[in-house]
Amino acid sequence: MNDVSLTDLHGGRTTVSAEAVEALAKRLRGRVLNGRDPEYDEVRAIWNAMIDRRPGLIVRCAGASDVIHAVRFAAENQLLLAVRGGGHNIAGNAVCEGGLMIDLSPMKSVHVDPTTKRAWVEPGATLADVDKETQAFGLALPVGINSTTGIAGLTLGGGFGWTTRKFGLTVDNLLSADMVTANGELVRAGPAEHRDLFWALRGGGGNFGIVTAFEFALQDLGPEVLSGLVVHPFGDAGNVLRQYRQALKAAPDELTCWVVLRLAPPLPFIPAEWHGKEVLVLAMCYCGDLVAGEEATAALRAIGQPIADVVSPHSFVAWQQAFDPLLAPGARNYWKSHDFLELSDAAIGVLLDAIRQLPGPECEIFIGHVGGAAGRIAAEETAFPQRNSHFVMNVHARWREPAMDQACIDWARQIFEAAKPHAAGTAYINFMPEDEVDRVAAAYGGNYARLAEVKRRYDPQNLFRMNQNVRPVEIRGAA
C-alpha cells in the first residue's frame, strides 16, 4: 500500500503513511478498505442516491475495539470523519469526501432479555433487526416507520413512529449507551454516570461520539396490531383533513394516525382508475386490544367517502415494513420539514396547493401526529426539545433522474417557505437535509446552549462534525 492523501478536518489535504494505515489494519478485527477494494462502492453507497462521495479510507468495524482504534486514528491525523450506521440519513452525513468513514453496519447484534424487558443493540442494526428480535418475545421498542432505517441515527435524533404516542420516543426508552468519545475512550452514559452526556445523546444527534451499544427498555406489544390505510380522493382532502384534525382531539394514546398526500401507487386494493391520481391517505395504527382499536378508529374511518379501507389486524413486524417498497434505496431524495403545534386551515391550504403541483410520481407530503406519552416529558429532560402534542410535516421529494433535481428540490423548498408562517420554529433533525445547517440552533431551542457545552467537554475539536452539527462553545480566555 502507498501513502494515502486524505481530507483533513479543515478541508485541506494531509498525507498518512502506508505504515500507519497498515498498523491500523493489524489492530482491527474488521477491515480497512480503499477505492481499489471490490466492496468499496457497495459500502460507501447509502439510501439517498443524491449522495455520491468517495471516502479516502473506510474502516469496517466488527466491534467496539475497532471503533476505538478508528477514532484514535482519525483524531491523531486530524481527518475529516464520517460515521455510518444504517446509512439512511437524508443529509448523507454517513459518507465524507476524501476523509475517513467509520462503517458500523457489520455490528448488528440485538440481544433481548424477556425477563427484564431490555434489549442491547449494536449500532449497525436496522429497525427490522430490532423488530424481529423483540417481537419474538411479544415486546417492542418504539421506532420509526421504515424498517431499513438504522437504529443508531434514529435513536440519536429522537425517534418517533407508530407507537410513540403510547410508549414515548425511542430516546425515552434508552436506558444507557456505550460510547467512544473523541479521545478514543469508551464510556458508559446513563442516569448514574456521564449524566450530561446521556442527556445530550437523547436527541442531540451524532455530535458527541460513536455509540457502540444501546440499552433499551422494551414494551409489551403484538404480535398483532390493528393497522392499515384509508384512501380518499384528493377532491375531498380539505374536508378530510379538517375532520381528521377534530377526530384526533379524542384519540387515545394507543392510536396514531398519519396523513400521506401523493399520487396513488398501483397497489392492489386501490381501484385501477385511481392509480396515478392525487389521493389523501390516512395511515393508522392502534397498539392495544384489537376490539378496543375498532372502536378507537371508528371516527377516523367514518370520515368522507373513501376509495378504499384496508384497516385490519396485521402482524406488527409486517406493518412496520408496510412502507418499505415506497422508500427503497436507490432513488434521489430531498426533504424539507416543519413542526406545527396545530394543523391550521392556512397550513392545510399550503398542503393542498402543493399536491396540485407535484413534480413527480414518487413525491409526497406526510403529516405525522406526535404527542401522548412523548408529550408528557418536560422539554428540558432530554435534548429532544419539541414535547408539545404536534404535527410533523415532511415534504418528501423523491425522483430517479438527475435532470429532475432542480424541479423537485424547488418544489420542496417552496412548500417549506409557504408553510413557515404557520410552523412552530422547531424541527426534527433526522428530517433535515445537508443545506439546513442554519436551522440547528432553532431546532433545539432552549436546549442548544447546554448541548454546546456538552460538546465542548466531550469533543472540543469538533471531530464529530459530519452531522447536524452543534459547535462546541469556546472557552473564555482561550487564544
Q: Are residues 228 and 215 in the same domain?
A: no
pLDDT for res 168: 98
Residues 293 and 357 in one domain: yes
Q: What does the pLDDT look like over 359-397, one tens digit per residue?
A: 999 999 999 999 999 999 999 999 999 998 899 999 999
What pLDDT score was predicted for residue 389?
Answer: 80
CATH number for the domain including 203?
Answer: 3.30.465.10
**Structural domain includes residue 459:** no
Percent of the chain with pLDDT over 90: 97
Query: Residue 270: helix, strand or coil by DSSP?
Result: coil
Task: Name the E strands within 8-158.
Answer: 13-16, 31-33, 57-60, 81-84, 100-103, 110-113, 118-121, 139-140
Q: Worst-scoring range by mean pLDDT, 155-159, 254-258, 422-426? A: 422-426
Q: Tell whether the model's pLDDT for residue 474 goes beyond 90.
A: no
Residue 476 confidence class, pLDDT cut points 50, 70, 90 = very low
Please indicate, yes or no, whether residues 282 and 383 belong to a single structural domain of this protein: yes
Same domain flag for 306 and 209: no
- Comparing CA positions, the residue from 429, 455, 339 lying closest to residue 91 is 429
Residue 423: inside a domain: yes
Contact indicator for 209, 81 with CB cutoff of 8 Å: no
CATH number of the domain enclosing 355: 3.40.462.20
Tell me how many domains the chain contains: 3
Asked if residue 60 and residue 159 are part of one domain, the reply reads no
Looking at the structure, tell me whether residues 405 and 256 fall in a common domain: yes
Average pLDDT over residues 243-264: 97
Last residue of a domain, one of 165, 196, 220: 220
Distance, CA of 456 to CA of 83 (rounded, Å)? 20
Which segments within 57-144 are labelled E, that is strand?
Answer: 57-60, 81-84, 100-103, 110-113, 118-121, 139-140
- pLDDT mean over 49-69: 98
Per-residue pLDDT, averaged over 33-54, amounts to 97
Dihedral angle, C-alpha 456, 459, 460, 462, nearest 10 °: -120
pLDDT given at position 146: 95
Residue 344 in domain: yes
CA–CA dist 281, 133 (Å, integer): 30
* DSSP SS3 for 263: strand
Q: Is residue 322 part of a domain?
A: yes
Exposed/middle/buried for 5, CB within 10 Å: 0-12, 13-18, 19+?
Answer: exposed
On whether both 86 and 139 belong to a single domain, the answer is no
Residue ending a domain, choose from 220, 252, 279: 220
Task: Work out the burial of residue 228: count CB atoms within 10 Å of its CB; fewer than 13 is exposed, 13-18 middle, 19 or more buried.
Answer: buried
Q: How many CB atoms lie within 10 A of CB 242?
A: 14
Judge whether 473 lies within some domain.
no
Query: Do 59 and 92 lie in a common domain?
Result: yes
461: in domain: no
- Spatial CA neighbour of 185 closest among 196, 176, 194: 194
Domain identity same for 119 and 35: no
What is the percentage of the chain residues whose pLDDT exceeds 70? 99
| Domain at 55, CATH number | 3.30.43.10
Q: Which three cell numbers stand for residue 370?
A: 406526535
Note whether 99 and 116 are same-domain residues: no
Question: Which of residues 46, 72, 103 is at a domain's end?
Answer: 103
For the beta sheet containing 81-84, the strands, ordered from the edge strand earlier in sequence to the opposite edge, are 31-33, 57-60, 100-103, 81-84
- Let me know if residue 203 belongs to a domain: yes
- The model's pLDDT over 183-212, given as tens digits with 9 standing for 90+, comes to 999 999 999 999 999 999 999 999 999 999
| Residue 180 covered by a domain | yes
Question: Same domain for 275 and 422?
Answer: yes
What type of residue sits at position 93?
N
Q: Are residues 77 and 20 in the same domain?
A: yes
Residue-wise pLDDT for 266-316, tens only, equals 999 999 999 999 999 999 999 999 999 999 999 999 999 999 999 999 999
Q: What is the span of the domain harbouring residue 300?
A: 224-437
- Where residue 479 falls among pLDDT bands split at 50, 70, 90? very low
